[in-house]
A and B are shown apart, each in its own frame.
Chain A
Amino acid sequence: MGLELALILIVFLGVVILGSSRLGTMIQLFAAQSLVLSATPLLVHPGKHAVVMAFVTVVLKVFLMPNLLFWAIRHVSIRREVQPLVGYGKTLMLGGFLIGTAFFISSKLDLPVEETSNLLIPCAFSIIMIGFLLLVSRLKAITQVIGYLVMENGIFLFALLLLEKTPLLMEMGILLDIFVGVLIMGIVINHINEEFESTNTIHLTTLRD
C-alpha cells in the first residue's frame, strides 16, 4: 500500500509540474517528486542495496540537482514560463491522454512484477511520458531540462523492478552520468543567457534549412 501511495504521489506531482508556470515552483516540485522517489527502493525491496540507492538519490536529486538548477537560472529575472507550444490546457489534456496510453500499454505487456505492485509499470511509463511531453512542449531551456529529469525519474521507477539484479555500481554510474549531464546543461544554459539575455529557446531557432 505504501508503494502504491508513493507511486500515485509521484504521478500527481508530475501532473502538477505539467500545469505549472513558475520556474522556481517547478524545480521545487521536482525535488519533492525525487524525495518520494527515493523512498521507493525501500518499499520495494528493503535491504542494504535499497538504503544506499535511497541515500544517493536524495543527495543527488533532492539537493544537488535542484540547487544546480537554481544556480543556472540565478541571472534569469523573469521566473515565469512562457506559453507552452500548444497552451497549458491542451498540454494537460495531452498529458492525461498519454497517461491513459501508458496504462493501456502496460496492461498489454506481460510483466514479471513479482512482489511489487501492478501499478509500478503504468506509473513508470506515465512519468516517462509526462517528462517527455514537458521536454518537447515547453520553450524555456530550464523547463526542458526539468522534463529530461522527470523522464529519468520515470526510468528510475522502472529500474526498481530489477533492484536486486543490477550491480550497485551500475546504478551509481547512471546517476552520476545524469548529474554530470545536468551540470553541463546548467553551464550551457548560462551560455545561452549570456548570448541572448534570455533563456527562451525561441531564440535558438536560427539554424534551419
Chain B
Amino acid sequence: MLFILILLPLLSGVFAFLLSKNQQRKMVLLGTSFIHLIGVLSLWKSLPVAQLNGFLGMDVLGRLILTIISILFTTVSFYLWGYLKDEDNHSNRIFMAGLLIFLSAMTLVTMSRHMGLLWIAIEATTLFSAPLINFYRTPQSVEATWKYLLICSAGIALALLGTLFLAVAASKGETVFLDVLLNNASSLAIPWLKLSVIFLFVGYGTKMGLAPMHTWLPDAHSEAPSPVSALLSGALLNCAFLGILRVLQICAAAGQAAFARDLFLIMGLLSLVIAAIFVVGQSDYKRMFAYSSVENMGILAIGMGLGGIGLYGSLFHMINNAFAKGMVFLVTGNLYQIYQSKKISDIKGLLHYYPVTGIFLAIGFLAVTGVPPFGTFYSELMILNAAIQSGRYWVAFFYVLFLAVIFIGIAEGVLKMLHGGTKEQTANQTNQEDIRLIMPILFLGLIVLILGLYMPSFLDDALRESSKLLGGR
C-alpha cells in the first residue's frame, strides 16, 4: 500500500508528461489525486507494517500529515480543473508532471523511516516544486524561482550535514533509521546530537519558512500561480515541519528535548516578529498572505517549543492552518482571475461586485487569523494556554501582541479590498464565480469551521498519540 501511494503519482506524472493535450493531463491529475486520497483514507483503518527493509513505514504523525496533503492536493486539483481552462495555448505538460511528482515526493517524506531517505525526499520536493512556481515565466516569477531553488537547496545542504552529524552521533548504533535511533536514543553522543539538531533545524527550517531563513517564502508563494501557492503553504511547509518533528522525536527519546524546544521557541518568536513587521502595510495581497504563512509556521514552532499541551495545540494548528491557508490562496486565485492584478489597491468593493468571492475572502481572512468559531482560534488558544501554564508569561505576552498586530495588518488589507470602489470601476468579467472555483474553497472553509466546532474522536486520538511520540504526555 505504501509503495502504491508513492509510485502512483510518480508514474502518473511521467504519463502526464507524455500526453499531448492539456485537457487530458488535467484529467490524469484529477484521477490520480482522487485515487491517492482514497488510498490515504484507507490507512486510517489500520496502519501498515514497515516495508522495504524498514526504509518506509507509517506512524500516526506521518499519517496525519499525509492526510492533510492528500485532501489539499485533491481539492487543488479540482480547483485547477476550472482555473486553467483559459490557457490552452500554454502547455501545462511540465506543470502537471511536476505537480504529480511533487505529490509523490511529499508522500515519500511522510513515509520515510530513514533520515537519509527523508533528506532525499525533502530535497526532491524542492526540486519538483520549483518549475511550478515558474509556470507563467514572468521576470518576477523567474526571480522567485531562483531564490527559492537556491536558498532552499543551500538550506537542505546544511540539513544533509546535520543528518551526517546525526549518523556520527549514532555511530554506536551505526545507522540513521528512525526506529533504531529511537530505540538506542540513550546511547547517542550528546555533543554531536546537539550539533546535528542545530544544523537540521536551520536546514529544514529554511524549507519550512522559519525566520531568519524565510526570505524566499514571500517571493515564491506570491509569484507562483495561486493553486500552487495553496499547495506550497498548506502542504509543503508541513512536510518540512515533519522533518523537524522527526528530529524532535529523536531528541525527546534522548532526553535532550529541552534543548530542541528552546531552539524552536527562539525561531518561532523571531518568525512572528518578522511576519508582524512585514504584514502591516503590504501592498500585494498574496505577499501579505505569504507572510501570514511565516507567522503560522512561527506559531507551530512556538507550540512545539512550549511542550505539554503546546504539542497538541501545535499539531491541531497545523491541520487548521493547512486548510485555512489553502482556502485563502484559492480565493486569491479567484481574485487574480477577475482583476488580473496582485495589488490590494486595484481591488475595491468586492462585497458589492463579486459577493460570493468577497464573502469567501472574508471567511478566509477570519479563518487564517484565528477568529472563533474557526479551528485556528482554538489551536492558537491552546498554545497560549501552554505558555501560561508553563509560566512563560513573556512568551505569552509577545505571542498575543504579535498575533494582534498581524490580525490588524491583514484586516486592513482585506477590508480595503472588500469595501470601497466607485461606479466607474471596471473589471474583467470572465467566468465569474465558476462553480469549480467555488466548491473547493467552500469545502476547505467548512473543514476549518467544523474543526472549530467539533473535534472528531479519531482526530483527537491521532493528535494525542502524535504528541506522545514527540515527548508529550
A contacts, CB < 8 Å to B = 109-110, 112, 128, 132, 135, 141, 144-145, 148, 151-152, 155, 158-159, 161-162, 165-167, 170, 173-174, 177, 180-181, 184-185, 187-189, 191-192, 195-196, 201, 203-207, 209
Contacts and interface: CB of A to CB of B under 8 A. Distances in A.
Contacts of B8: none
Nearest to B160: A155
B124 A177 contact: yes
24 contacts: A132-B154, A148-B157, A152-B157, A155-B157, A162-B164, A165-B175, A166-B167, A173-B116, A174-B120, A174-B160, A177-B123, A177-B124, A181-B127, A181-B149, A184-B130, A185-B153, A188-B142, A189-B146, A191-B134, A191-B145, A195-B139, A207-B143, A209-B278, A209-B282
Given A148-B150, A159-B164, A188-B149, A170 B114 contact: yes
A187 B131 CA distance: 9
Contacts of B126: 181
Given A162-B167, A191-B137, A141 B153 contact: no
B120 A158 contact: no
Contacts, number: 112
A162 B116 CA distance: 13
Interface in B148-166: 149-150, 153-154, 157, 160-161, 164
A181 B114 contact: no
B468 to A, nearest CB: 29
Interface in B249-273: none
Interface string B94-132: 000000000000000000001011011001101100110
Contacts of A184: 127, 130-131, 149
A122 to B, nearest CB: 15
Interface string B280-307: 0010000100000000000000000000
A110 B171 CA distance: 13
B337 interface: no
B456 interface: no
Chain B at the A interface: SS class: helix
Of residues A180, A181, A185, A196, which shows the largest number of chain B Cβ atoms within 10 Å of its Cβ?
Answer: A181
B371 interface: no
Given A165-B171, A201-B146, A206-B139, 9 more contacts: A152-B157, A155-B164, A165-B167, A177-B123, A180-B124, A185-B153, A196-B142, A207-B143, A207-B223
Contacts of B127: 177, 180-181, 184
A204 B168 contact: no
B142 A192 contact: yes
Contacts of A206: 139-140, 143
B149 A158 contact: no
B219 interface: yes
Q: Sorted from nearest, which 3 A-B pairs have the closest CB atoms?
A: A204-B143, A170-B116, A207-B219
B150 A110 contact: no
Contacts of B464: none
Most chain A C-beta atoms within 10 Å of own C-beta, residue among B117, B143, B218: B143
